[in-house]
Structure 1
């Protein structure tokens, strides 16, 4: 007997609702080089050019992010190191990556049954990125495809990427630890090149996007 058939109808409906509100996030590497995709929740995966990875994110997920790691080398046990975006030397990330790294951030089924999503350069930039909904009638996506690494300001240059000023200078003006900060010379550099992306921690007004809960998404490296 199929065990699912013995579930009470009310419980079956609840389970269906929970599954239907989960999001599928398809991660595609369109770069002409290998990246090691990372996600919390999700883990990590090596993606050669043209390869993709599907992440199933549960409804209610918060503080989630997807990013690319570059310059990685892992052994057979999944331990190693990456030049950018490294997550404690693990192929299967359990925590956030080290700057500089371009971030796709999201929270599912939040206030008013909305998903919130953004691209953030608050941790710097390493790989161009697109983060867009692919279903549920939601069409407004975000793209940050500028050559920020090539144009990076001298003070922010880092191997394989362009650092955020907090990592470099470690002051409240840039890190916003007190919660009271505004645009700076450095954040304006990022904002001019990727106007829809977060350029500093309080850059909410022009950088947060929403979809009705139930949408699926894609993250494309080098769109």
Structure 2
């Protein structure tokens, strides 16, 4: 059966814990999450037609927890639990539910056009962001999606009223909320009387996001050219902190 290879590469100078979940009715690609050290990568094989989302988690700490697997006191399995400052999914290393926003999302959806089978992919800041991410297809005829800014630059551009700061002594910005999450207003959610492209217009915040990541969705009714398509069968590399992509002194990889 046809499969799509998806590479996850960490070009950041710090560890990233990528996670992914399928859309409803679609099977998960095991294991659903991992830890990637700087300049390391992992490789996934997605069955044709797979759709879902990827995101990176940051500032995570891990622990081993005993999980009662059969409702008896003496039958436990050990499970790695993690606690992430951004993108956390109920403490799971391999996610079975969406991560907490704000987190930069990569979205994949297969498309059928009258003449070809296509993969549609995009990077979304609609729920806010925590990392610059870029999707790079192997085919030179297909366009890349997402951000090119460094992690420091992207977070520095976050308006103060949207900024999430690291807990503890270091007050550095680690993520940027969407205006929807920050203000809970229909005009930012594009719901209610603002539930159409005609009524829901770009806000100063979405324009700020768009300047930071021109090739990403910045709000619900952003222009259609923020999403991209490539003939099915291409290979994709999702790069965290793409400004540093290719500049690592060494690289190692794992496959599932």
Number of aligned positions between the proteins: 202
Partner of 1:176: 190
Aligned equivalents of 2:10, 2:226: Cα separation in 1: 23
Identify unmatched segments of 5+ residues in structure 1. 1-18
Partner of 2:45: 56
Q: CA deviation at 1:217?
A: 0.5
Residues 45-77 of structure 1 show CA distances to partners (whole Å, capped at 9, x for unaligned) of 000011111122221123x11111001112122
Name the stretch that deviates more: 102-111 or 123-132. 102-111
Partner of 1:131: 135
Residues 70-121 of structure 1 show CA distances to partners (whole Å, capped at 9, x for unaligned) of 0111212222311011111111011211111111111125444111101111
Aligned equivalents of 1:84, 1:222: Cα separation in 2: 15
Name the stretch that deviates more: 49-58 or 25-34. 49-58
Q: CA deviation at 1:157?
A: 0.4
| Contact kept? 1:71, 1:84, Cα under 8 Å | yes
Partner of 2:158: 152
2:220 matches 1:201 = yes
2:58 corresponds, among 64, 70, 79, to 70
Aligned equivalents of 1:105, 1:23: Cα separation in 2: 14
1:84 corresponds, among 83, 86, 105, to 86
1:217 corresponds, among 222, 233, 236, to 236
Decide whether aligned partners of structure 1 residues 143 and 23 sit closer, same or farther in structure 2, where only a CA change above 3 A counts. Answer: same
2:162 matches 1:162 = no
2:16 matches 1:35 = yes
Aligned equivalents of 2:229, 2:111: Cα separation in 1: 10
Q: Output the aligned Cα RMSD.
A: 1.5
Structure with more helix by fraction: 1
Partner of 2:208: 189
Q: CA deviation at 1:145?
A: 2.5
Decide whether aligned partners of structure 1 residues 57 and 177 sit closer, same or farther in structure 2, where only a CA change above 3 A counts. Answer: farther
SS in 2 for 1:23: strand
SS in 2 for 1:149: helix
Aligned equivalents of 2:146, 2:179: Cα separation in 1: 22
Identify unmatched segments of 5+ residues in structure 2. 23-28, 65-78, 166-173, 243-256
Partner of 1:7: none
Q: CA deviation at 1:213?
A: 1.2
Larger RCO of the pair (alpha carbons < 8 Å, separation 6+): 2
| Contact kept? 2:121, 2:145, Cα under 8 Å | no
| Contact kept? 2:119, 2:230, Cα under 8 Å | yes
